[in-house]
Amino acid sequence: MKVAVFSCKPYDQRTLDIANKNTNIQLHFFESRLSEETVSLTKDFDAVSCFVNDQLNKQVIKQLAANRIKCIALRCAGFNNVDLEAAGTLGLQVFHVPDYSPTSVAEHAVALILSLNRKTHKAYQRVKEGNFALEGLMGFNLSGKTLACIGTGRIGLAFVKIMQGFGCHVICHDPYPNEDLLKQGVKYSSLEDIYKEADIISLHCPLNEHTQHMINKNSLAQMKDGVMIINTSRGGLVNVQDALDGLYQKKIGYLGLDVYEQEGSLFFEDMSDTIIQDSVFQLLLTFPNVMVTGHQGYFTDIALEHIAQTSIENLTCFQSGKSNNRQLTA
Ligand code: NAI
């Protein structure tokens, strides 16, 4: 079986090659993203392996089907970029990698909280320049703060456990509360109560029609002044224009983003020599209380190893006509 691997960086190729050592699957690596422009590359392949910013809309899936592609093996957990209905109608099987390392993303969310709070990025620069002044670096104690976790699936659960260790008062929101957290007595609240009570809000729910732009001017208006918002989930959860207004009005005291709605044209590439053609993103970077990372929450050694192993397992399952619980349907 021949697989076209899109959005493939050298680190992906290394881990996929190791995971693929004992199979008869042939992997062909493309650094480009899968899109309407690049889908013609999939002729003569049986399957595609894709990542978070590959475009798997109806048009692309139609073209994949026309090129006789039968399987889409995602190398990620989120699948908001895939038109599952089109894939199902056209007979393409879709697999994802749901739980390669929830702690990697949870720990990155914590890194954003700690950096924004204690300003370690600024302190590092100051000390390098021999500036040991503390003015402007004051943080707050996490212990005793009310921390809200929206979405308590695999990543949310790992995140809650870490934040409990900091002594935070944790409240959660999820249409399907986690049994273990309920047993521990963790409180699940309505979004309205979460917005009213939380000092820190961290998003760990999927992007879908119910959650798109859930952080907007209406939800922000209900939040405490100076709230910290962390998004390591998907960029589309936050209406960035409203977040910018919230920053100007000091409603948002700290904003940590590992994902950005328009990240497709920016992230995972070295753009340091180019003029970034996204004025909203550029404006965001000018705020001293905003920290943006380029979708690196997942990027740990263990996570990459698990992504590669599970992707190959999914392709092997497809090849042998088996299904597994990582198969996605509309
Ligand atoms: P999961 O499927 O285990 O958990 C998602 C949870 O969100 C579920 O408990 C679900 O009931 C809940 N949920 C669904 N709709 C909701 C709503 N309207 N409000 C509140 N909660 C809701 O997914 P997992 O593995 O925890 O991943 C969460 C998200 O993290 C993914 O959807 C993905 O977008 C993102 N992610 C980001 C990565 C990064 O590198 N920054 C890497 C991996 C995932």
Q: What is the pLDDT of residues 286-299, one digit of tens each?
A: 999 999 999 999 99
Q: What is the pLDDT of residue 34?
A: 98
For 79, other C-beta atoms within 10 Å of its C-beta total 22
Given 108, 213, 263, 306, the catalytic residue: 263
Assess contact for 63 and 288: CB atoms under 8 A. Answer: no
The predicted model gives 219-244 an average pLDDT of: 98
Pocket test for ligand 1, best of 173, 178, 205, 295 (most atoms within 8 A of CB): 205
Distance between Cα 152 and ligand 1 center (Å): 7
Which overall architecture, per CATH, does domain 102-292 show?
3-Layer(aba) Sandwich (3.40)
Q: Whose CA is nearest to atom 14 of ligand 1?
A: 205
- Which SS3 state, helix, strand or coil, does residue 251 take? coil
Distance between Cα 132 and ligand 1 center (Å): 40
Distance between Cα 179 and ligand 1 center (Å): 16
Residues with CB under 6 A from ligand 1: 77-78, 98, 102, 105, 150-156, 173-176, 204-206, 210-211, 232-234, 258-259, 295, 297-298
- 64: which residues sit within 8 A by CB, 6+ positions away? 39, 42, 48, 72, 90, 92
Q: Give CA–CA dist 309/68, Å, rounded.
A: 25
Assess contact for 1 and 291: CB atoms under 8 A. Answer: no
Q: What is the pLDDT of residue 12?
A: 98
Rounded to 5 degrees, φ, ψ at 185 are 90, 15
Distance between Cα 161 and ligand 1 center (Å): 16
* pLDDT > 90: percent of the chain: 99
Residue 31: name the closest of 61, 57, 5 by CA. Answer: 5
Given 234, 261, 306, 326, the catalytic residue: 234
Average confidence score pLDDT of the chain: 97
Q: Which atom of ligand 1 is nearest to the CA of 206?
A: 32
Class of domain 2-100+301-328: alpha beta
pLDDT higher than 90, residue 198: yes
Q: Are strands 169-173 and 187-188 parallel, antiparallel or unpaired?
A: parallel
- 19: which residues sit within 8 A by CB, 6+ positions away? 305, 308, 309, 311, 312
Given 108, 295, 306, 326, the catalytic residue: 295
Q: Give CA–CA dist 200/177, Å, rounded.
A: 19
Distance between Cα 298 and ligand 1 center (Å): 13
Q: pLDDT for 101-153, tens place per residue?
A: 999 999 999 999 999 999 999 999 999 999 999 999 999 999 999 999 999 99
- For this structure, is 326 an active site residue? no
Using a cut of 0.85, tell me whether the model's pTM lies above it. Answer: yes
Q: pLDDT for 45-70, tens place per residue?
A: 999 999 999 999 999 999 999 999 99
Measured on CA atoms in the order 54, 213, 174, 208, is the torsion positive or negative? negative
Structure tokens that stand for 128 in this block: 């390098």
- For this structure, is 295 an active site residue? yes
pLDDT higher than 90, residue 323: no
Assess contact for 282 and 276: CB atoms under 8 A. Answer: yes
Distance between Cα 206 and ligand 1 center (Å): 4
- For this structure, is 263 an active site residue? yes
Q: Whose CA is nearest to atom 1 of ligand 1?
A: 153
Give the residue range(s) of CATH 3.40.50.720 domains in the chain. 2-100+301-328, 102-292
Q: pLDDT for 25-43, tens place per residue?
A: 999 999 999 999 999 999 9
Q: Whose CA is nearest to atom 4 of ligand 1?
A: 153
The predicted model gives 80-91 an average pLDDT of: 97
